[in-house]
A and B are shown apart, each in its own frame.
Chain A
Amino acid sequence: MVDISVRKKITKIFWIKLILSPILMFAFAYAMVPIYDVFCEITGFNGTTGRINSEQVYAIDESRRIEVSFFAMTMGGFPVQFRPKINSMEVIPGKFYTTSYIAKNNTDKVIIGQAVPSVAPTEAALYFKKLECFCFNKQVFEPHQKIEMTLRFVIEPELDKRIKDVSLSYNFFKIKS
C-alpha cells in the first residue's frame, strides 16, 4: 500500500490535470484562429495571397505565359460599383505588373469597405505576391466619388509549370462604422 499522504498528493495532481484540460481545450479553440491564419498564409490554403515589400529580381523565362483574369464582387448589398479596369492580362512569371480596379460610390453617404482577395487555383495562391494593393487597407468612399485603386503584383517563377491560368478575385465587404 502506498502511504496516505503520497496518495493524497497524487490525487491532487490528478485533479489539477482533470480540471485544467477542459480549460486548455477551450483556449485551444481560440488558438485555432491565429493558427488557421498562419496556416493559410504559409500554404496558400483558401486562396490566401502573399505580400512582398520590395521589388525582387527573379530569374525570368521569357517563353512562359500565364493568363491572369480579374474578378470583382461585392457582398451583402455593398452599394459601390466595383469592377476591374481590364478583365485579363498575359503575364510572364517573375515580372512585376500594374493594373487597377475602379470603384464608384453611388450613394450620398460615406462608405467604408474592405476587399478580401482570393486566388484560384489554390496551388497558385502561394506564388501570387502583391507589392501594392487596395486590399491592404480599408477603403473610404466619399459620396458619389469614383476612384481608381492600383494593384502591383508578380507571379513567382516557382509556380507549377502546368498552371496556365490564374484568377484573382476581390470581394468587397462593408465595414460597420
Chain B
Amino acid sequence: MTTITAYTSHHSPEKGLMRWIKTTNHKDIGSLYLWFAFIMLLIGGAMAMVIRMELFQPGMQLINPQFFNQMTTMHGLIMVFGAIMPAFVGLGNWLIPMMIGAPDMALPRMNNWSFWILPFAGGILLSTFFMEGGAPAFGWTFYAPLSTTFAPDSTDFFIFAVHLLGFSSIMGAINIIATVVNMRALEMKLMDMPLFVWTWLITSFLLIGAMPVLAGAVTMMLTDRNFGTAFFDAAGGGDPVMFQHIFWFFGHPEVYIMILPAFGVISHVIPTFARKPLFGYSSMVYATASIAFLSYIVWAHHMFLTGMPVAGELYFMYATMLIAVPTGVKVFNWISTMWRGSMTFETPMLWAVSFVFLFTIGGFSGVMVGIAPADIQYHDTYFVVAHFHYVLVTGALWSIIAATFYWLPKWTGKMYNETLAKVHFWWAVISVNVLFFPQHFLGLAGMPRRIPDYSLQFADFNMISSIGGFAFGTSFILFTYIVIDCIRNGKPADARPWEGAKGLEWTLEPKAQYHSFNKPPTRELIKQESQNS
C-alpha cells in the first residue's frame, strides 16, 4: 500500500482550471463528459419545457411557430448528440479501464481532444439561435430539401457542429476499441469481460461505421447549399429521397448506439441487487452483436411512406421484426436473473427494474410502428414521439441515472442520500409516464408531431402530458441536489458498497484513486469478479 501512495502522490493531478484543460486521465475526462452531458440535458430539457408550455392549450400562446420548430429541432439534436451520447462516452471513460484492469485509456491525449471538441461543437450549435433567420427549424432529421433549399443561413453552422460532433464520437470509439483490445489485463479473456465493456465495444463498431455516413450526408448538404452540387436537388438530377436513405443508414445504427451501453449498465445493476449471477451471459453478448448487425439492414422502416415497392416494405418490415428476437433474449435474461433472487430495491435497482418495464413498452410500440401497413396510421404522429421517448428517456436516460447512483460511491468514495434518491425516483417515474403515456393516445387519434397548435379534441391529453412534463422537468433539480450533496457531504462509502456487486472496479479503494491498476489484476481475481460464471 505504501508504494501505491508514493506513486500516486508523485502523479497527483494539477491544481486549478488547467488540470481540466490539460488532463489525460480517464477519470477526469469521464467526469468532464458527464458534466457536459448533464448541462446539455438541462439545456435540452429547458427547450422541452418551452415545447410543453406552448402545447399546454390549443392555439398559439407563447411563441411563434418558427421558434417552436427551432425548439423541437434543437431539443432533438442537443439530447441525442449533446446529452445521451456524451454521457455514455463519459461512463465508458470512467468505467472501462477500471473494469478491464487497465491503468488508463489507450490514447489519453486523443481522449482529451475528443472531449474538448464537444463544448465548441455544442457552442456553435447553440449560437445559431442568435443568428439572422434563427436556429435550424427542420427537425432533428434535417430532411432535404427543407435543410438545403429552404433552410436559414445558420444551417452551415449546424453542419460544421455535426462534423465536429462526429469527429469527437469517432475518436472516442477508436479509443475505446483500442483500450479494450490492447489495454485489457493479459489474463482477461474476451468472455471474461463485463457486459458494459462488451456493449461499449460493439457500440464503438457501430459508431465508426455510422458516424462517417452522417458526416458524408452533411457534407453533401454543404456542397448542395454552397457549391452548386445537386445530390438532393431533383433539378440537377439528384433525389431528396436519397437523403433519407443516407440519413437513416446512419440514423438507425445511431439509435442502437444510444441503447446498447444502456443494456450493459442494466446487466450490471440487476445481478447485483438480485444477488445472483447474470442469467445467460454469453447469450447477452451474442444478442448485443446480433442487434448491432441487424441495425445496419433495417433503415428504410423509417421511410415506409416514401413510396417504396411492396417488396421493399416487406423486407424492411420482416428485418425490423427480427430485432425483437435478440432484444427479447435480453429482457428475458434480466427477468430470469431476478427470478428467485434475494432482491433488494436500492435506488440503482429501482431505476433498473423500471428500465426493464418501461423500455419494453417502448420496444413494443417500436414493433407496432415497424409494421408497414399499420405505420401508415402512426407515421409522423405523436405515437412515434411517445415510442422514441419511451426508449430514449426511460431507456437510455434511465440507465444513465441508474449508472450514476450505482457507481457514484466508487467515483466519489461517498454515499448519496438514499431517502432523497428514492423520492426522486418515484417523482420521476410517475411524472415521466404522465408525460409520455398520453402521447400514445394523441398519436393514435392522429395528432401530428412537430406542430405548435392542434385541434380541440387533443386538448385534454396535451394538458395532462404538459403537467407531467413540468413535474418531470423539476425532478432534475432534486437530482442535481442529490449528486452535489453526495460529492460534498456524503457519508464515506465502502469499497464494495453493494453486497452482491461483482467486477474489478469494486476491488479498488472506496474512492478509486487517480491512477488505478498500475499492476494488472491476477487471473484468480479476474475469475472471481467475472460476470460469466
Binding site for B on A (CB under 8 A): 11, 14-15, 18-19, 21-30, 32-33, 36, 40, 43-47, 75-76, 114, 116, 122-123, 171, 173-176
Contact = CB atoms under 8 A, between A and B. Distances in A.
27 contacts: A11-B182, A14-B178, A14-B182, A18-B178, A22-B170, A22-B174, A22-B208, A25-B212, A26-B213, A26-B215, A28-B213, A28-B216, A29-B213, A29-B214, A29-B215, A32-B245, A40-B239, A44-B309, A45-B308, A46-B307, A75-B234, A114-B235, A116-B235, A122-B307, A122-B309, A173-B234, A173-B235
Given A14-B178, A123-B309, A175-B236, 13 more contacts: A22-B170, A24-B212, A25-B211, A25-B213, A29-B212, A29-B246, A30-B216, A33-B242, A36-B245, A45-B308, A76-B235, A122-B309, A176-B228
Nearest to B309: A122
Nearest to B216: A29
Contacts of B242: 32-33, 36
A88 B231 CA distance: 33
A26 B220 CA distance: 11
Centre residue among B208, B219, B220, B236 by max chain A CB count within 10 A: B208
Contacts of B310: 123
A49 B32 CA distance: 54
Interface residues of B, number: 37
Interface string B163-197: 00000001000100110011000000000000000
Contacts of B211: 22, 25
Contacts of B220: 29-30, 33
**Considering residues B178, B231, B307, B309, which has the most beta carbons from chain A within 10 angstroms of its beta carbon?**
B309
B174 A18 contact: yes
B249 interface: yes
Contacts of A18: 174, 177-178, 208
Contacts of B219: 29
B341 interface: no
A168 to B, nearest CB: 15
A171 B235 CA distance: 9
Nearest to B311: A43
A174 B242 CA distance: 20
Contacts of A75: 234-235
Contacts of B208: 18, 21-22, 25
B209 interface: yes
A122 B311 CA distance: 11
Contacts of B149: 76
Nearest to B170: A22
B274 interface: no
A40 B209 CA distance: 24
B234 A171 contact: yes
Contact of A25 (B174, B209, B231): B209
A22 to B, nearest CB: 5
B403 interface: no
Task: In the A-B complex, list the 8 residue pairs whose CB atoms are closest, starting with the nearest.
Answer: A29-B216, A173-B235, A25-B212, A26-B212, A29-B213, A22-B212, A22-B208, A22-B170
B148 to A, nearest CB: 12
Contacts of B309: 43-45, 122-123
B234 A116 contact: yes
Nearest to A113: B235
B133 interface: no
Interface string B311-335: 0100000000000000000000000
B241 A46 contact: yes
Contacts of A175: 235-236
Contact of A26 (B181, B216, B235, B239): B216
Contacts of A176: 228, 235
Interface in B281-331: 307-310, 312
Contacts of B353: none
A3 to B, nearest CB: 15
A44 B307 CA distance: 12
B164 to A, nearest CB: 14
Given A23-B212, A28-B213, A174 B182 contact: no
Contact of A46 (B209, B237, B239): B239
Nearest to B234: A116
A7 to B, nearest CB: 9
B217 interface: yes
Nearest to B145: A76
Nearest to A174: B235
A82 to B, nearest CB: 14
Contacts of B215: 26, 29
Interface centre among A11, A25, A27, A43, by most B CB within 10 Å?
A25
Given A11-B182, A32-B249, A21 B217 contact: no
A173 B240 CA distance: 14
B181 A14 contact: yes
Contacts of B216: 25-30, 32
A123 B307 CA distance: 11
Nearest to A114: B235
Interface in B231-284: 231, 233-237, 239, 241-242, 245-246, 249
Contacts of B181: 14
Nearest to A173: B235
B237 A114 contact: yes
Contacts of A26: 212-213, 215-216
A43 to B, nearest CB: 7
B80 to A, nearest CB: 19
Give the one of A11, A22, A23, A173 with max B CB within 10 A.
Answer: A22
Nearest to A31: B216
Contacts of B182: 11, 14
Nearest to B237: A114
A151 B310 CA distance: 29
Interface in B107-126: none
A36 B247 CA distance: 13
Nearest to A32: B246
A162 B216 CA distance: 42
Contacts of B214: 29
B68 to A, nearest CB: 26
A36 B170 contact: no
Nearest to A175: B235
A114 B215 CA distance: 30
A136 to B, nearest CB: 12
Contacts of A171: 234
Nearest to B232: A33
A30 B213 CA distance: 8
